Amino acid sequence: MKIISYNVNGIRAAIHKGFLEWLSKENPDIICIQEIKATEDQIPRMEIEALGYHTYFYPAKRKGYSGVAIFSKIEPTRVEYGMGIEKYDAEGRFLRVDFENYSVVSVYHPSGTSGDERQDFKMQWLHDFSDYTQTLKTSLRLVLCGDFNICHRPIDIHDPVRNAHNSGFLPEEREWIDGFIRSGFTDSFRYIQGDVKDCYSWWSYRFNARAGNKGWRIDYIMVDDRLKSLIHSANILSNIVHSDHCPVVCELD
């Protein structure tokens, strides 16, 4: 089973850049999308379904902002929209599909780059997200796909020294992701690829960052430790350019 996570930074813009043609060729069983920045009526659902997918969208209430989606070739037994926490659900950050033996989530963690208020919001989200997923784990085996907006380790960012005090690589954020992994999740990319360097999933549009590979690895597929033995492969598709992010992929046996 091939699962992809992809922050498309606007699904309509990505489609104009060939996203659907790429999706048809890549042919994942499930793709989790973040930052759709569109309402369901603005997305060519029939074209996506013609590729064999069941489609589920959870846009933000604010137009042109945030939002997540899941396209799955396997019809889920249940679809859960949001976390039941209004301040997060209004931003369209969490969508879950359940299958017989596992559940897949598309999640878009907040960014704190716009200032202290949003950084505080992000830290509260991280606390609440941990609590919520731990509650889910009592009855579900989770595969969490999304933009976490955090680089975990120095090898996950092109310049750990000069970014040490920037949102996305703050000590408290990295400490959170340490604890989150210890709570029962496996970073599928590191599980397969080990300590390989210079592998990123996001590059700023400024300073020719992508051409120079000055990136950040902030997109993850986190696999419930109870499913860890099923991880067959994991990679970052850095040559795919519909967005300032690129897709990350994990195959489960």
Please give the positions annotated as active site. Answer: 147
**β-sheet bridge partners, residue 2:** 251
For residue 113, count other CB atoms closer than 10 A to its CB.
Answer: 12
DSSP 111: P
Buried b (16+ CB within 10 A) or exposed e, 146-166: bbbbbbbeeebbbeeeebeee
d(CA 62, CA 67): 9
| 200, two tokens | 């990123």
The residue among 71, 72, 93, 70 whose CA lies nearest residue 82 is 93
Amino acid at 58: Y
Q: Which residues of the chain form beta strands (DSSP E)? A: 2-7, 30-34, 54-58, 68-72, 78-81, 94-98, 103-108, 142-147, 185-187, 202-203, 215-216, 219-224, 231-236, 248-252
**β-sheet bridge partners, residue 78:** 98
Which value, in Å, is the radius of gyration of the alpha carbons in the chain?
17
- Report the sign of the C-alpha dihedral through residues 210, 215, 219, 221, in that order: positive
